Structures are given as structure tokens and as C-alpha cells.
A and B are shown apart, each in its own frame.
Chain A
Amino acid sequence: MMKPTAEGPRFKSKNEILAECATVGITQNTPVYLYCFKGARASNTFLALKNAGVKDVRMYFGSWNEWSRDPSLPIDEGPADRCPLNRQSGIKRACLSAARRNTGRRCNLFPDRRSGTSALAGVTKGRSMSTFDNPFDADRELRAIGLRLRPAWHCCRARSRERCAALRAGRAGESEEKRYEGVVASAVMRAVFPQDAARRAFLKSVGASTALAAISQFFPLKTATEVFAQGGAPEKKDLKVGFIPITCATPIIMAAPLGFYSKHGLERRSGEDRRLGRDPRQDHQQGIRRLPHAGADADRDLARARCQRDPFTVPAIENINGQGITLAMKHKDKRDPKDWKGMKFAIPFDYSMHNYLLRYYLAEHGLDPDTDVQLRSVPPPEMVANLRADNIDGFLAPDNICQRAIYDGVGFMHILSKEIWDGHPCCSFAASREFITQIAEQLCGADAGDRRRHRLCVEGRRTASRSRKRSRRPTTSTRPSRCWSRCLTGTYADGLGGVKTDAKRVDFDPFPGSRSRSGC
């Protein structure tokens, strides 16, 4: 109900307060009962609501001070393991286990630089191709595939058993090994050349054997073939997945409470990357792979170095949309990007989708992103504070960061990234190549879970938002659950007194651009 201003904290305007209320279903005619700890902050809200014209506002003056002392009064708590009282020990346990298991493979979620580039170059849809055709035949068309990011081994795995059986029957003369090799190579070729014309041109110019050799150079065809042929249950059941607590990570977070991994015999231990902005050297000593999101140069270099040593691949895109341009309140009249000359914007890091989208948007409005504005890499968790401190004029950031700025009254939503490019890929689920080749089978299993999760996220947003609220609250204590639900449900205050509804503010699609084939 308050917002910081240059002169100190002030009440939000009547319209802003009504907009905040509207996002949780409170209108001027709703009876509202307020409480806090012992009545002072609730008094503040009382005045704000009264001033905004809410007719029936009352206060439970005893508040928590009284309620919590009476054991007969009910209290809703989160799940036992998420109870704040157990929080510290929980974190400690997580750190210990991270340190202990630092030799194990780990997957990280970060906004994908590859999706950023390739996506901006245009989502390339190829033409018809079949898994079982000879991929090194220049005269044959391969079957459609969505983004070039789509992992080869995923497609291999995605073939149904029936198709495999039919293949066996149809090509009885061929050795099984040879057939599998063909399937894997075909998938790789599809992934490398989503456009058939390019593949054919490539094959015609270098020849099939050279092409095979070239592909083998950077993709472990042999290993992948072996893995594909083996099939069966996952070997490594215990996965550790790192993520940054932003809306994009919803599928990863929601998987555990919704039981998708257990269905596939997997146990995935998701761990929020709580180390953002901490000392990178310490993490290095502990063998923790830092995320590029972390921002500081040292961190990025470290992350890059590690990525070079241990290349990453992207099995699935976590989400689409889900970002936005937030501007400081003082710019509420500067809604035309042409007026933004000389402004400073924050982006998560140089190679992020955010950077590309912002540059695209600025350029579209006639500004040179390199010379007309300043773009700074700022870790998203620090963006709101920087906006408040007037260090930056705005930012393009993942969601809940944008909403947090609105929640705090320091900024407003200028435009959703969805409005810049509807359906753009955002964060990706990445895993090291070594990890994939070693336990591809397992990831395939996990991948099935991924897709179900995505479907659930789309279908049951509200539920997802609620369960997420419940399960994530303690570890995201600096990001109010209201911000989460507003991002996930798409009903949000825009910071200027308006309430907007956009169910696809953040959306979930593991393979953007290939929606029709998501059942693959």
C-alpha cells in the first residue's frame, strides 16, 4: 500500500491501491478483515483502503500477537518440510549434500543463449522427414522438426516401440546395430539441419561419408546409438537440478510435489540456486557450477570456462514468454521508446534472451541499442533495488522480478515480452553433454515427466500457482507469493493503477515452434 519515493515512503494512489486489491479479488464493496502482528501495519492498510473507497474495512486488532498464543485457534501451515521453523536445517542439509555430491552430474537451468540466437534468427521449421530414412541421402526429405535445439536423442527415444518393431520386421536383413545407427544419425541430421534444403546442399557439396565424419566429430553417435539400443529403466535415479527461483522454473519446481518423477522411477532433487551474488571462489572450491545468471564477470567467466570444458546441451525449453520491460515510476509518461535515449537498462547477462529482446525492441523503435542507451548486466535479484536506488531507468527481466518492482511500487510494467514476440523461448533445461551420453536413458525418462509437467502447467495454472506458493514460500521469502501468483495466473497490477489479464504472460511449452508434434 506504500511505495518509496524520493521524499520517502508514501501511500500509493487510490487507483494503484484499487488495482492491487483487484488482483486478489477485493473491490470497494468487498468486506475486508485486516490483521498483522499487533495492529500498526494493518492500521496503515486500513487507512489506505478507506482512502481508496473500500467501504467495509475492519481490523482484527489482536492479530498474530493474540491468535498465535491460543493453541485452540487454527493455523494453516505449509508442508512440514517447508515449515519456516525447519528452514535453516533444510538449507544446511541441502548445502551439505551439494558439497558432498559435487562429483555427481548436475543439470542447470538458465536462460538459454542458444535459443536466444537461433530463435531470433527465426524458428525454423523443416519439411517432412522420417526417422528411419537414410539421413545421408541428399535426395530424401527428412521429417519436420521444430527448433534446431531439439535434441537428437530425444527424437530417437520418442519413437514408439511399435514403430521400432515395424522397423525390425521391415528390415530383417539389416543388423540391429546398423539400424539403430541409422535412427540416431537421422535424428542428429534433423537436429543439425532443420531445413531440408540446407541438409541436401551440405550433403551434395561434401558427400555422405564426410558428412557422417563431420557429425561424429561433435556428436557421440556411437555412444548415443548404444544408449538408444539398450533402453530399459534409468540407471541413475537420483538427479540434482539447479534453478533460479523465477517463474520460468515452475516446471522444475512443480515436478516434485506433483509426483511426476516418482512415476518414472526417478528422484529429482531440485535446489534453488541460493548462491546468487555470493562469493564465486567459495562455490568453485565446493565444486558448484555457477549459473551465468549470476551476473558478476568473475562468475560468468567461471561458468563459461566450465561450459567449454564440459559442453552443455538443451533437452527442452522450460517456458515461453514470461519476461517484461519494467520502467521506473518516474518514466510513466515516457511510454514511447523513442524517448528513451540516454536511459540505462539492466539485463540479466549479455547472452540472454532478455538482451536480444530488448535490443530488438529498441531497434524496432529507431534506437541504437549500442549507442543510444546503456545496457548493464545486473543479476535479476538485484534489479529491483537498483531501480529503487535510481541506478537504472528500467530493465528487461524474467517474471516475478518485474512484478516485484510493481509490488514495491518502484516501477511499472511497460510491455510484456509476449507483446514483443509471442511465444518466444525463454529459459531452457540444460544438461552437460557428458551427462546425456552417460545416462541418456534416464533423461529420456525425465523428459517424459517434463512434458507432462508442462501440460499440467498450462492446464492448471491456478493450481500450479497455489501449490508453488505453498511449496516454495520459505526459500523465496524475499519474493512475495502474490508476485508469483500474479505472474502465473496472468492477472496482475501494471503499476499504474490498471489491472491486466493475460493468461499467457508466461506459458509452458517444452518445444516451442513444434506444438503440433508435442506428442512425439
Chain B
Amino acid sequence: MQELKTKFADAFGAAGLSGKETAVIYEQSMNSGFGQSCRGYYLLTMLGYPKIKVLHGGYDAWAAAGLPVTTDVPSPVKASFSIVPEAGDILIDAKTMLAARRQSPASRCSTCATSTSGSAKALRLTGRISARARDASPARSGSNGTG
């Protein structure tokens, strides 16, 4: 896990993040990449990066608002930031899930069986309170497995 964290921290550091900057993550639109920007948000949160934002609506929203764009390729200055170990608590493993499930097996499984297609998704693991994320555009995309 530490190895992975270092790998991600290095990648973000290479993009110029030193901990002082506000990291703004964006993608094309909010559903084209199945929440890629949110995934970046999650990873940085897990590493303990202090200031993170997601551009709501992505590049499409930016462009629609008529805000300036450029085709120049930025050349960020390599930087680095320190990983906060406690921030990693937001990531849990199968063991924790299993423990939560055992702790109160009969409790509610809140949002299981959403409308996504694919056999695996219709099965469920009943967590203590486990919210099952769903597609921004349910079942239409046909891009199973990108989640």
C-alpha cells in the first residue's frame, strides 16, 4: 500500500503539486469518464493533500461558460508533498468490509441492486451501511467495468 501511495504522490508531485497549490481536477464532463475527476479527488484526499477541488461540470462546463482555453502544453516544475498516513483511513480493504458485514449482518443494505447492468453488479455484499455508488447515467452507457 505504501508503495502505491508513493507512486501516486510522485505522479501528482511531478505535475507540480507541493502542498501549497490548490489542486483542481477535471475531466471532459461529469459522466464521460465515470467520475475520473472524483477519483483523483479521492486519491489526493487519501494521500492527505490539503487543498483539492473538482471542476463541477468538467471541461465542457468551462468551455460553455466561455472561459479561456489554450492548446499550449504546460511544463510544470516538479515538486513533492508529504503523505499524511492517517488520511489513508478513508480507504478500507475487504477485511474491514467483511468485519462490518459480520458486525450486523441483518442491517440495512442501503442502495444495493441499482440499475447498472452486468451480473456481478446485481449481486450484493451487505455491508453494515454500505452505499453502492451508481452511474451518473444509469445503464445507458454500456461501459461495464469502467467503474
Is B54 touching A64 in the complex (CB atoms < 8 A)? no
Binds B, one of A23-31, A129-137, A301-309, A340-348: A23-31
B interface footprint on A460-489 (CB within 8 Å = 1, 0 otherwise): 000000000100011001111110000000
Is A481 touching B112 in the complex (CB atoms < 8 A)? yes
Give A372 to B48 CA distance when docked, in angstroms: 58
Closest to B29 in A: A8
Contact surface of A with B, Cβ cutoff 8 Å: 1-2, 4, 7-11, 24-26, 30-47, 49, 57-64, 66-68, 70, 73-78, 84-85, 408, 469, 473-474, 477-482
Is B42 touching A76 in the complex (CB atoms < 8 A)? no
Give A385 to B73 CA distance when docked, in angstroms: 41
- CB of B5 within 8 Å of the partner chain: no
A32-B131, A46-B38 given. 13 additional CB < 8 A pairs?
A: A2-B31, A7-B61, A24-B131, A25-B108, A33-B127, A37-B145, A41-B147, A42-B147, A47-B41, A63-B147, A74-B101, A478-B115, A482-B111
User: Does more than half of chain A's interface fall in helix, strand or loop, or is it mixed?
Assistant: mixed
- Measured CB to CB, the closest approach of chain A to B87, in angstroms, equals 11
- CB of B35 within 8 Å of the partner chain: yes
Is B130 touching A33 in the complex (CB atoms < 8 A)? yes
What A residues does B118 contact at CB under 8 A?
A: 37
Is B133 touching A34 in the complex (CB atoms < 8 A)? yes
Contact of B93 among A62, A469, A473 (CB under 8 A): A62
Closest to B93 in A: A62
The answer to whether A47 and B122 touch (CB under 8 A), given A2-B136, A35-B97, is: no
Contact surface of B with A, Cβ cutoff 8 Å: 29-31, 33-36, 38-39, 41-42, 54, 56-58, 60-61, 64, 89-94, 96-98, 100-101, 108-115, 117-139, 144-147
Is A43 touching B42 in the complex (CB atoms < 8 A)? yes
Give A41 to B110 CA distance when docked, in angstroms: 16
What A residues does B90 contact at CB under 8 A?
A: 46, 57-59
Is B132 touching A36 in the complex (CB atoms < 8 A)? yes
Is A477 touching B115 in the complex (CB atoms < 8 A)? yes
What A residues does B111 contact at CB under 8 A?
A: 24, 482
Give A26 to B112 CA distance when docked, in angstroms: 14
- Measured CB to CB, the closest approach of chain B to A83, in angstroms, equals 8
- Measured CB to CB, the closest approach of chain B to A69, in angstroms, equals 10
What B residues does A40 contact at CB under 8 A?
A: 33-36, 38-39, 146-147
Is A74 touching B115 in the complex (CB atoms < 8 A)? no
Is B91 touching A7 in the complex (CB atoms < 8 A)? no
- Measured CB to CB, the closest approach of chain B to A33, in angstroms, equals 5
Give A49 to B45 CA distance when docked, in angstroms: 14
